[in-house]
Amino acid sequence: MVPLNWYLMLSATVFMIGVFGFLTRKNIIIMFMSVELMLNGVNISLVAFSHYLQDLRGQILVFFIITVAAAEAAIGLAIIIALFRNKSTAHVDEMNEMKG
Partner 1 sequence: MLAKLFFGYYAAVIILLSLLVVTRKNPVRSVMWMLLLFFHIASLYLFLNAEFIAAIQVIVYAGAILVLFLFVVLLLNLREELKVKRFIGSWPAGLFVSAAILAIVINVIRSFVLVAPPGRYSIEYIKEATHTKALGTILYTEYLFPFEIASLVLLIAIIGAIVLAKRKTRSH
Partner 2 sequence: MPFVMPDLRPVLPEIVMTVLALAILLADLVIKRKETIAFLSIVGVALVTYVLPGSMGTTFNGMFLSDGYSMFFKLIFMLNVILTVLISVKYIVIEKVNFGEYYALILFSTLGMMLMASAGDLIVLYLGLELMALSTYILAGFIRYDIKSNEAAMKYFLLGAFASAFLLYGTSMIYGLTGTTDLKAISAYIVANGLSGNPVLMLSMILFAVAFSFKIAAVPFHMWAPDAYEGAPTSITAFMSVGPKAAGFAVLGRVFLIAFGSVKLEWSAVLVPIAILTMGVGNIVALSQTNIKRMLAYSSIAHAGYILLGIIAGTSDGMASVLTYMLIYAFMNIGAFAVVIMLRSEGFKGDNITDYEGLSKTHPLAAALMLVFMFSLTGIPPTAGFMGKFYVFMSAINAGYTWVVIIAVMFSAISAYFYLRVVMYMYMKEPKETVQLSTSPAIGLALAITVIAVLFIGISPSTVVNLARAAVSGF
Inter-CA distances, 8 with 14, 48, 70, Å: 10, 8, 24
Which of 98, 82, 17 shows the shortest CA–CA distance to 90?
82
* Residues of the shown chain interacting with partner 2 in the complex, contacts defined by CB under 8 A: 8, 11, 15, 18, 22, 28, 31-32, 35, 38-39, 41-42, 45-46, 49, 53, 55, 57-58, 60-61, 64-65, 68, 71-72, 75-76, 79-80, 82-83, 85-87, 95, 97-98, 100
9 binds partner 1 (CB under 8 A): yes
What residue type is 69 in one-letter code? A
87 binds partner 1 (CB under 8 A): no
Radius of gyration of the chain (CA): 17
Residue 95 partner contact from partner 1, partner 2, none using kind-dependent CB cut-offs of 5 to 8 Å: partner 2
